[in-house]
Copies of this chain bind each other. A is one copy, B any other.
């Protein structure tokens, strides 16, 4: 496979982008070549865009700080995470009393007055990748809330992730535990759920046919976006592996070498920004 893809054809009717962060804009603490220029292109081109991350441990402020250290200056309001999606979902559905099972600082992305005291009955239990916050007592409290009528909102339902000391349980198993205990089905608001993409579109004020998702994961990024009616573009950076693309049933609308080629995807819209939609 050539290192440089010269076949990138512009996609028509693009007004907005959803762009995965880890593996697309940076890997580890290093920006991908051309990430700065891509950001500049988005700003200057008048596109709507959100950088999406499936982390449930970090607030958008923390994520913006991490990007800033790498020289990527992104407004907090342009970062979209499962916590942001959940807060929007809760506001829209009038569920203003929540119990959080989270670790890290993602809780600051929920309105402060949403959080209930220990003894209160919440409208919803919101559960993320909470690590040591998962105890028998915290899960039992969430279970009792759910049995009292609260909704179950899952920021993600991944099985596990690779921590420094080995494979480690993500939120999914604990969501599954509460589903089994209560007979309820969680509303998943992280990638690749349709809810996540719909809420991100709503946040941008665009419809699915106006937006392209760019990511390095063919399943959660490209497949998820396509199920949500968007176009999905795969980058050959981050976790990209040619054999995964080859063996997948999912066909990206476009495959590009890296985010540096975003200018060639979007060029049609720069010329014809408010013109035709797909």
Contact = CB atoms under 8 A, between A and B. Distances in A.
Contact of A134 (B132, B133, B136, B147): B136
Contact of A136 (B131, B137, B140): B131
Contacts of A177: 169, 173-174, 176-177, 180
B147 A167 contact: yes
Nearest to A180: B176
- Copy number in this complex? 2
A6 interface: no
A168 interface: yes
B159 A144 contact: no
A38 to B, nearest CB: 36
A84 B38 CA distance: 64
Interface in A123-159: 131-137, 139-140, 143-144, 147, 159
A144 B167 contact: yes
Interface string A162-187: 00001111001110111111110000
B131 A169 contact: no
